[in-house]
Amino acid sequence: MSDYEDYCALIRFLNAGDTSKHSRKKHRLPAECYTLSDCEYFFTLCARHQGTPFTEPELAVAMVESLLWRKQQHHWSLYTLCLMPDHLHFLLRLETNEVRYFNGGARGILPEGVLNQVAGFKSFTTTQVWWKQGGKGPLWQRSSYDRVIRYNQSIQQAASYILDNPVRKGIVKQWKDYPYSRIVDRW
């Protein structure tokens, strides 16, 4: 069996835990997988019950700037991003093998991973941007859609999907014409 097949078998095993209807849905991967710096992460964050909040240019610019600030603070390689009227796609890679830890209270000392960093982005943009611009309630859905791209999977395919989102939706003819879609770091 290859390393990739071993990895997939491990993930299937770890995800086969409690499937009762009362258990909270867990991320597809164990939290430790979100601390790895040898893979890329593809995230989709959706607006919650707000329709299309990112059609407001001031809010859209603030979302993009906040994501770029988060990239600097956490030393990400942020390959692509696209802020659509009701959701945000981005593709990143953690830059360092050094894992930081935080006190998770009753959960103990936990490794800080990209999920914690994305949660911080969502919290900041809700309280410091959305609410200050007059928004009410939560801006983002509670969870996110995420994928880990590893081994021989294509970064190019994921990046193209993100960049071409406004083209597929008929907003623009070329992704470069959309003001909230860009390549930040080369892969």
> What ranges do the domains of the chain cover?
3-12+25-183
Question: According to CATH, what is the number of the domain 3-12+25-183?
Answer: 3.30.70.1290
At 157 the pLDDT is: 92
The Cα 45–Cα 173 span in angstroms is 24
- Per residue in 69-82, pLDDT tens? 999 988 899 999 99
The 3 state secondary structure assigned to 104-157 is: CHHHCEEECCHHHHHHHHHHHHHHHHHCCCCCCCCCECCCCEEEEECCCCCHHH
pLDDT tier for residue 113 given thresholds of 50, 70 and 90: confident
Q: Is pLDDT above 80 for 12?
A: no
Question: 38-47, 93-102, 142-151: lowest mean pLDDT where?
Answer: 93-102
At 85 the pLDDT is: 97
At 72 the pLDDT is: 93
Does 5 or 109 have the greater pLDDT score?
109
8 A C-beta contact, residue 118 and residue 42: no
Does 81 or 1 have the greater pLDDT score?
81
Average pLDDT, rounded, for the chain: 84
Q: What angle do helix axes 57-74 and 114-124 make, rounded to 10 degrees?
A: 150
